[in-house]
Amino acid sequence: MLTDSTITIMLPVSDASRAAHFYSDALGLAPVATGEDGTQYFAAGAGTIGLRPMPPGSQSPNTALSFEVSDLPAELSALENRGVEFQDIDMEGLKTVDHIAQVGKERAAWFSDSEGNVLCLHEITG
């Protein structure tokens, strides 16, 4: 059944080389394979992230994936030290303080990859 399946998240990238550097250098993920169509795969926990070459503008303005972490401030700081820039949000129902928002029983922080895909770090707090 699907509940036992390993997941591969496919993200559209317009510059595969730039994206590969971001995912390996900034996020610290290990490359595992390159497909015949140029899709590059990176190990991420029990799953895989596939960076698929697509035309510019294919990226979603919404969260494409979220990494669950055990210490959000520490992970945020480590990624900032590698050049990742986190978003600040101030709208009705969602406000970040030091880049972190409390969302129910989770804390979350958002950033974009080199291609404009919105990514998230989240920590379960309750």
Query: What confidence tens digit (pLDDT) does each residue in 80-124 have?
Result: 999 999 999 999 989 999 999 999 999 999 999 999 999 999 999
Model confidence band, residue 4 (pLDDT cutoffs 50, 70, 90): confident
Domains and CATH numbers, the chain: 2-124 (3.10.180.10)
What pLDDT is recorded for position 126?
A: 75
The average pLDDT across 47-56 equals 94
Query: 3-state SS of the chain?
Result: CHHHCCCEEEEEECCHHHHHHHHHHHCCCCEEEECCCCCEEEEECCEEEEEEECCCCCCCCCEEEEEECCCHHHHHHHHHHCCCCECCCEECCEECECCEEEECCEEEEEEECCCCCEEEEEEECC
- For the whole model, what pTM was predicted? 0.92
